Amino acid sequence: MHCFKQLALVTLLFLLPAGAGALNYDLTPVPGGIAAIHLPADVDPASVRYRERRVLVTRQDDRSIAVVGLALGAKPGTHYLVARTHSDKPLKLSFQVSDMAYETQHITIKDKRKVNPEKRDMERITREQKQIKTALRHWSDTDTVSLEFLKPVDGPTSSPFGLRRFFNEQPRKPHSGLDIAAPEGTAIRAPAPGTIINTGDYFFNGNTVFIDHGQGLVTMYCHMNRIDVESGQRVAAGDVIGEVGMTGRVTGPHLHWGVSLNDSRVDPVLFMTGAETAATGATDIGGNTP
């Protein structure tokens, strides 16, 4: 087994250059957040891994920077990247993750099938989860990745990222996306350039679109009324991909917008500037996002 070189100091990056896009995020990496780490000059970007998954690597002032997604289940404390130099020397880079307390959401649902699906539903859900996981874990080698997103829908936030949810007092997975309230038929636009990975109609998520932005950065759009794109299609920032709806498990029309980075669901607000945070009545009660 190789001996790893421990780097004593890892520099956290809080603003990427305009060419790569600006990230709007807290100074301290937290579960559901992002860590941006300067890499030694001799590191092979294709070798960088976090929890055995490749991570996005961009450039700033001729330096390589790893932009790492941290799952909501990430434990506070010391985390590690592993990499290799161009001469095949192994490296281990440490960084710190701080705790984050997300709010709790309690929802009463009259349709018990939406809380405890029947056997026939579970067969469909299990099949669909595999498709969703495959899309969210997608990787494509791309030299340039935009890290600054347009807001995909005009409207206020109805449910923020990270809510710890209880349906009929039964605990469920935290809310792994951002809900934006908007009337049915409102246009949904691609927030950045990318390629449509897949589309589908899912039990919890309703009509859904997945966009690959490169290097493990994938966005997901749920509960759509209409889908206007197809798999393999290239989209530019601002292109219409469909309309807001209330398909799947919802209480009102809205867009559930998810962002996956190295297969970790992270807060979409981190990629935006001037995001609205006012609450409204529309609530996402679904989402079988793994």
pLDDT by residue (tens digit) across 69-108? Answer: 999 999 999 999 999 999 999 999 999 999 888 876 555 5
Tell how far CA 60 is from the center of its chain. 23
- Confidence (pLDDT) at 198: 97
DSSP state letter for 73: T
Q: How many CA atoms lie within 13 A of 68 on its CB side?
A: 34
Task: Match 């791309």 to its residue by tokens.
Answer: 142
In whole angstroms, what is the distance from residue 183 CA to residue 11 CA? 43
Contacts of 183 (CB under 8 A, 6+ apart): 244, 253
Same domain, 70 and 205: no
Q: State the chain's mean pLDDT as an integer.
A: 82
Same domain, 74 and 139: no
Q: Contact, 114 vs 251, CB < 8 A?
A: no
Between 186 and 273, the higher pLDDT residue: 186
- Confidence (pLDDT) at 3: 37
Q: Is residue 128 domain-resident?
A: yes
Q: How many CA atoms lie within 13 A of 242 on its CB side?
A: 27
| Predicted confidence (pLDDT) at residue 7 exceeds the cutoff of 50 | no
Average pLDDT over residues 11-25: 41
Same domain, 185 and 257: yes
- Confidence (pLDDT) at 28: 76
Q: Is residue 153 domain-resident?
A: yes
Q: Please report, for the domain that includes residue 90, its CATH number.
A: 2.60.40.1590
| Predicted confidence (pLDDT) at residue 284 exceeds the cutoff of 90 | no
Helices (H), the chain: 119-136
Report pTM.
Answer: 0.85
Q: Is residue 285 domain-resident?
A: no
| Predicted confidence (pLDDT) at residue 219 exceeds the cutoff of 90 | yes
Same domain, 138 and 86: no
Same domain, 126 and 242: yes
Average pLDDT over residues 128-140: 97
Same domain, 201 and 242: yes
Q: Is residue 264 domain-resident?
A: yes
- Confidence (pLDDT) at 113: 54
Same domain, 244 and 190: yes
- Confidence (pLDDT) at 8: 28
- Confidence (pLDDT) at 61: 78
**pLDDT bucket at 112, cuts 50 / 70 / 90:** low
DSSP state letter for 7: E
- Confidence (pLDDT) at 25: 36
Q: Please report, for the domain that includes residue 147, its CATH number.
A: 2.70.70.10
Same domain, 39 and 136: no
Same domain, 168 and 230: yes
pLDDT in tens, 155-169: 998 888 887 754 544
Residues 24, 26, 31, CA angle at the centre, nearest 5°?
A: 110
- Tokens standing for residue 28: 């301290």
- Confidence (pLDDT) at 226: 97
| Predicted confidence (pLDDT) at residue 117 exceeds the cutoff of 90 | no
| Predicted confidence (pLDDT) at residue 233 exceeds the cutoff of 50 | yes
In whole angstroms, what is the distance from residue 94 CA to residue 228 CA? 43
- Confidence (pLDDT) at 116: 61
Looking at the structure of the chain, the number of domains it has is: 2
Same domain, 58 and 142: no
